Structure 1
Amino acid sequence: MNTAGGPVIVFDGVCALCSRWVRFLLRFDHRGRYRFAAMQGVQGRALLQEHGLDPDDPLSFLLVEQGRAWSDTDAIVQVLAGLGGAWRLARLLRLVPRTWRDRAYRTLARNRYRWFGRHDVCALPAPGQVGRFLD
């Protein structure tokens, strides 16, 4: 899958928390750096499979950039730092052992529908943001 157009974030398009995360990134990604692919879409599913993640049991958050892939909390830290400015301080989260960070993330991921809700369908992007979504 070609991700040459910039970093791609694969997210759960029916997860209410994940949709809020994408809206947060659209608001603070002033440079328009990130593109998005719902894991329920063809391209999102392909990226998950390409990087060894199960698209039918999506407990991982994925960032693909310049041929490299990050998942879970490493992906979250990388995305936040990529926003620039004060967001670069998110790199300090790497001081917390990855096993601890990822354990907390997995707990959140397993319970995200119960705690935050689920949409019946993927939310549609605003007209001015359509070009940032792969499918």
Structure 2
Amino acid sequence: MQYPKSERFNSRQLMAGGVVLLSFGLLLDLHSLPSFLSKRTSGELCQEVVQSQTKLSRQQLARLLTVPEGDKKQKVQEILKDPYCKLVDLQVRVGATAQREAYQLEFEPQTWLVVLYEGDQYAGYRFNIR
């Protein structure tokens, strides 16, 4: 049994429309994942607020950039002082638990500095735009 051309054309349109809707739905679903949210990223919620008034100055940031990775945690903490908050610990490497502290930048309030420590060693930093 053969269908008229107009019905086959409509079924193709229906199929194309369904694919577009499915793609759009998947795109929206991906944006609802925590890693795509601007104010919250996976594992980036404060576990404990230490000093809610803390803001990191340009001078403190510049001094931090002179500290090599692997240096003592105490040296970094002397420069940065108390963090805004401590983030949830995570395991970066097998057998090594990393602690993270977050600091809001005084000169760029939407940007936070997240400092990573492994035990008593400074392991690095990254910026988080919220």
Under TM normalisation by the shorter chain, which class is it?
under 0.3
TM-score normalised by L of structure 1: 0.23
- Larger Rg computed on CA atoms: 2
Structure with the greater relative contact order (CA < 8 A, sep ≥ 6): 1 or 2?
Answer: 1
The structure where strand makes up a greater share of residues is 2
TM-score normalised by L of structure 2: 0.24
